[in-house]
């Protein structure tokens, strides 16, 4: 009897132990499913990237001698749910066994667990395998903190030690410090120049037409004529080499900066390749560490540690938080925010230059760098009190790298504080002054960053104090926020009333800001 093995769209890991042997009795199944294409409205580049990468992965498996069955988005079977498709395939090809890799999303995990029970009841063999991608197991964060408060920094240090990353022979952190974040907050004034790299240009027009013909809702620029994102492992490896050579040297220093007309700066753009598993986190971390070991002057420790912390630290940490807290995490909304997301999040048509740049860039490239996601779009949505469900759907749809296990903790937790501080001990909020310090958008903005009141006052300024004021009771019991509330409460009644009235005015006119 044959064994059916499922490969999900984000399980394109060519080095998985499944593929070591060619077995004539094994059928690999990949499917472009409507259930995956429509659970939120996706950016068209995200659909193109996943489908193209899945198709190429299937071709590579076939060329290596494996048997592969593939369902395209236009095929009738793409309308089936994942469990229905598998049951149908098992009957069609007379399979006595079903195997799958641990999915990264709770939703798919549930579907596959329930299916596995049904199949076992029918006498079929079912096996579940590790995806062999992450450094640790799903339960790693929960086990490590065991009831104590979660903090990324401790988990990161634990992983550095466990995997001997950037350590001396005696097990101390290289350079004497675990964290060089304080060195990584420079503003960029044009020097060094951002490298101009010619991106690859794949022609994905026929796939784009298939998606349109199948009626899958989508938005954003397609770039289908000259598609830049990697869709094979070889392309992803080339992107990694290019990042290490051109941008890693400056990664840390300018990690938090925002520049008009510069969507990437010195960021790696590797998140899609990592999340689709075209690259492994270990090979990315090892490449950065090796660069520092070979050429420490060109690749300073602060740059390399800053980059390693994103992957070995944040990426592994948010995955662990997700598995520790699902499914309830999806509903968390401790601040009870309910405002609809302004429509201009879908068009970029706002007079606020920082938001216009972050949103237009996202619509054009299915990408924004971390500080734009956190301190521009996320900051605004939180200050304005937008409903985390709507905020989640936006982030989950718009970014090329958005898969729920990584999007949800970043959005609900880190960005919207909807989990009440599980992921970060204080909300990531700021007025215009921080955005002005870290970027150059304010110079071209309709609003005046140094004004708190008046029609042209920067909305971030009054909305920041509105946010502090409306949740003051909560912040007074938060050690890190208390001094801010105390400072606010010491201001004159007239001053506070004027700022709050201005915030109300901006909120009333939110759609036209």
By CB under 6 A, the count of residues binding ligand FAD is: 27
Examine residue 133 and tell whether it contacts ligand FAD (CB under 6 A). Answer: no
Task: Compare residues 313 and 485 and give the one whose CB is closer to ligand FAD.
Answer: 313
Report the partner that residue 410 touches, choosing among ligand SF4, ligand FAD, none (CB closer than 5 to 8 A by kind): ligand FAD
Q: Which residue has the tokens 């220093």?
A: 253
Element (H, E) at 406: helix 404-408
Closest approach of Cβ 432 to ligand SF4, in Å? 4
Task: Compare residues 66 and 436 and give the one whose CB is closer to ligand SF4.
Answer: 436
In angstroms, the Cα distances linking 180 to 4, 18, 265, 282 are 48, 39, 20, 21
Three-class secondary structure of residue 259 per DSSP: strand
Q: What does the DSSP 8-state code read for residue 258?
A: B
**Stretch of residues binding ligand FAD (CB under 6 A), selected from 12-20, 64-72, 79-87, 398-406:** 398-406
| C-alpha atoms less than 13 angstroms from C-alpha of 216 in its C-beta half-sphere | 33
Report the partner that residue 445 touches, choosing among ligand SF4, ligand FAD, none (CB closer than 5 to 8 A by kind): ligand SF4
Report the partner that residue 271 touches, choosing among ligand FAD, ligand SF4, none (CB closer than 5 to 8 A by kind): ligand FAD
Report the partner that residue 471 touches, choosing among ligand SF4, ligand FAD, none (CB closer than 5 to 8 A by kind): none
Q: Per residue, what are the HEC states of 285-336?
A: HHHHHHHHHHCCCCCCHHHHHHHHHHHHHHHHHHHHHHHHHCCHHHHCCCCC
State the helix-helix crossing angle for 106-121 and 82-92, rounded to 10 degrees.
40
For CA atoms 9, 317, 229, 412, the dihedral sign is positive
Task: Compare residues 111 and 410 and give the one whose CB is closer to ligand FAD.
Answer: 410
**Distance from C-alpha of 157 to C-alpha of 407, rounded to nearest angstrom:** 23
**Stretch of residues binding ligand FAD (CB under 6 A), selected from 68-76, 153-161, 266-274, 333-341:** 266-274
Among 45, 184, 257, 310, binds ligand FAD (CB under 6 A): 310
* Residue 23, beta-bridge partner list: none
Closest approach of Cβ 236 to ligand FAD, in Å? 11
Among 271, 362, 365, 462, binds ligand FAD (CB under 6 A): 271
**Distance from C-alpha of 181 to C-alpha of 190, rounded to nearest angstrom:** 21
Taking residues 197 to 236 in sequence order and writing x for each that binds ligand FAD by CB under 6 A, - otherwise, the string is ----------------------------------------
418 within 8 A of 387, measured Cβ to Cβ: no
Task: Compare residues 335 and 445 and give the one whose CB is closer to ligand SF4.
Answer: 445
**Distance from C-alpha of 272 to C-alpha of 294, rounded to nearest angstrom:** 27
- The footprint of ligand FAD (CB under 6 A) covers 267-271, 274-275, 310-311, 314-315, 318, 369-370, 373-374, 378, 395, 399, 401-402, 406-407, 410-411, 414-415
């Amino acid at each position: 009897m044959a064994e059916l093995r499922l490969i999900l769209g984000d399980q394109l890991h060519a080095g998985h132990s499944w593929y070591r042997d060619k077995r004539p009795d094994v059928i690999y199944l990949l499917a472009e499913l409507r259930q995956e294409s429509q659970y939120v409205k996706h950016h068209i580049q995200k659909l193109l990237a996943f489908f193209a990468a899945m198709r190429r992965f299937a071709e590579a498996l076939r060329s290596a001698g494996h048997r592969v069955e593939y369902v395209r988005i236009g095929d009738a079977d793409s309308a089936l749910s994942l469990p229905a498709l598998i049951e149908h395939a098992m009957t069609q090809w007379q399979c006595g066994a079903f195997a799958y890799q641990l999915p990264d999303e709770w939703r798919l995990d549930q579907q596959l667990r329930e299916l596995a029970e049904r199949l076992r009841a029918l006498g079929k063999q079912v096996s579940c395998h590790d995806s062999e991608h992450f450094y640790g197991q799903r339960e790693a964060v929960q086990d490590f903190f065991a009831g104590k408060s979660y903090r990324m920094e401790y988990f990161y240090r634990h992983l550095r030690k466990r995997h001997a990353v950037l350590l001396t022979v005696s097990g101390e952190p290289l350079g004497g410090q675990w964290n060089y974040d304080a060195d990584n907050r420079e503003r960029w004034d044009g020097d060094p120049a951002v490298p101009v790299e010619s991106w690859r240009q794949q022609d994905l027009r026929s796939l784009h037409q298939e998606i349109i013909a199948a009626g899958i809702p989508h938005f954003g620029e397609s770039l289908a004529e000259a598609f830049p994102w990697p869709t094979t492992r070889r392309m992803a490896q080339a992107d990694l080499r290019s990042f290490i050579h051109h941008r890693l040297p400056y990664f840390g220093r300018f990690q938090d900066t925002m520049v008009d007309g510069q969507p990437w700066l010195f960021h790696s753009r590797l998140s899609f390749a990592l999340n689709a598993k075209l690259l492994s986190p270990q090979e990315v971390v090892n490449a950065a560490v090796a660069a520092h070991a070979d050429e420490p002057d060109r690749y300073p420790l602060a740059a390399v540690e800053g980059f390693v912390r994103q992957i070995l630290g944040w990426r592994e940490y948010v995955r662990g938080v997700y598995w520790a807290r699902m499914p309830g995490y999806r509903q968390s909304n401790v601040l009870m925010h309910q405002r609809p997301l302004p429509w201009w999040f879908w068009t970029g048509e706002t007079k606020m230059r920082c938001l216009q740049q972050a949103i237009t860039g996202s619509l054009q490239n299915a990408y924004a760098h971390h500080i734009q996601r956190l301190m521009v779009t996320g900051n605004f949505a939180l200050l304005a009190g937008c409903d985390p469900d709507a905020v989640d759907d936006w982030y989950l749809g718009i970014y090329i790298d958005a898969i729920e296990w990584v999007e949800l903790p970043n959005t609900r937790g880190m960005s919207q504080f909807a989990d009440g501080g599980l992921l970060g001990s204080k909300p990531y909020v700021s007025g215009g002054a921080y955005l002005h310090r870290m970027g150059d958008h304010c110079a071209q903005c309709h609003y005046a960053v140094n004004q708190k009141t008046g029609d042209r006052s920067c909305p971030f300024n009054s909305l920041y104090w509105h946010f502090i004021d409306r949740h003051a009771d909560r912040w007074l019991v938060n050690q890190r926020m208390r001094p801010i509330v105390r400072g606010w409460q010491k201001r004159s009644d007239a001053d506070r009333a004027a700022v709050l009235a201005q915030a109300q005015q901006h909120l009333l006119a939110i759609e036209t800001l």
